[in-house]
Amino acid sequence: MRRTIKELADFLSCEFEGDALTPVSGVASAASARPEDLIYVESSRHLEGASASPARCVVVGPGLSLRGKAVLRAANPKFAFARAAEWLLPAAPIAQGIHPTAVIAPSAQIAEGVGVGPFAVIEEDVQVGAATQIGAYCFLGKGTWLGAGCRLYPRVTIYSGVRLGNYVVVHSGAVLGADGFGYVAHAGKRWKFPQVGSVQIHDEVEIGANTTIDRGSLDQTEIGSGTKLDNLVHVAHNVSIGENTVIAAQTGISGSVVVGKNVAFGGQAGIADHCVIEDDSAIGAQAGVLPGKTVRKGQMVWGTPARDLDKFKEQYARLTRLPKLEEKVKNLENRVIHGLITGIDH
């Protein structure tokens, strides 16, 4: 979409400097930008690269100046850049209209403006909100509820009874509402414990490709508003995740874990069952939190078993010195043994 810097400044509610008619039609990095692309600069370290870029329009942070460019001034240039990108380059439609090969049960309630792609299946008593888009080969089980403006990419599977709020994005291959991993041992066998709960996904959640979210055992699994899950994340049954949490790829969260608001998980983190991860905390990449543990509000933990970051760094530094310590001990042993042998000889 082609706009001017003045229109962009009005949209972002920020000041601009330069020719009001400077055209902007896309976004890019400074190195790969074309003249009509928008770029951004957060710190003075990147001013030289931005100055050399062909881009005519730059979003800059407070106190920065850039000669020869049309400049948008924003308190948070990266955020302003992200909003501009969404406005200039709206997401391509996933599905428009109801494709003739889609299979939709007569009892399903499909609101105005919904798109349903080829070979999608929508079962009985499903409700789909206005302007939601459902990609090719998606499956919506009986009694599923989707809010307005959701985007389901191709081959998303949603089991019966799952509820999605408004503006939820689910990427390809994700499975929502499968049975949790719950069994009872008796008489030498594993007997399946009931997995009859539900899944509640609140507004503006994004769920990555091939991510799986299990239904609750007897209650529900819940993902709070604004939370973002990367690809290949697993959320087990009865997990509760608060608002605006971010979870990086290959993280696994075991059953009955409670995660607070604004928590950050690094990639490949592993959270055992019945843990509590309090608000504003951070779990480092590949960290392992043991069963029933609590990560306190604002705490950052790393390692396995997970411990406070400062403690982890101290212990890790000591661990890296072990080879030299081992060599010293061996040298001391050799000297002691040599002294004993020498003493016996005399």
Residues near 6 by beta carbon (within 8 Å), at least 6 away in sequence: 16, 20, 21
Pull the structure tokens for residue 28.
């890019």
Distance CA 297, CA 342 (A): 61
Distance CA 153, CA 196 (A): 26
Pull the structure tokens for residue 232.
């290949």
- Given the residues 171, 202, 234, 237, select the one marked as catalytic: 237
Angle at which helices 322-345 and 309-320 pack, to 10 degrees?
A: 40
Task: Give the CA distances from residue 321 to residues 57, 127, 330, in Å, rounded to whole numbers and listed in that order.
Answer: 51, 61, 15
Told to judge if 237 belongs to the known catalytic residues of this protein, a careful annotator would answer yes
Distance CA 53, CA 55 (A): 5
DSSP 224: -
Provide the residue count of the chain: 346
Look at residues 142, 179, 148 and name the one whose alpha carbon lies nearest to residue 164: 148
What are the catalytic residues?
A: 237
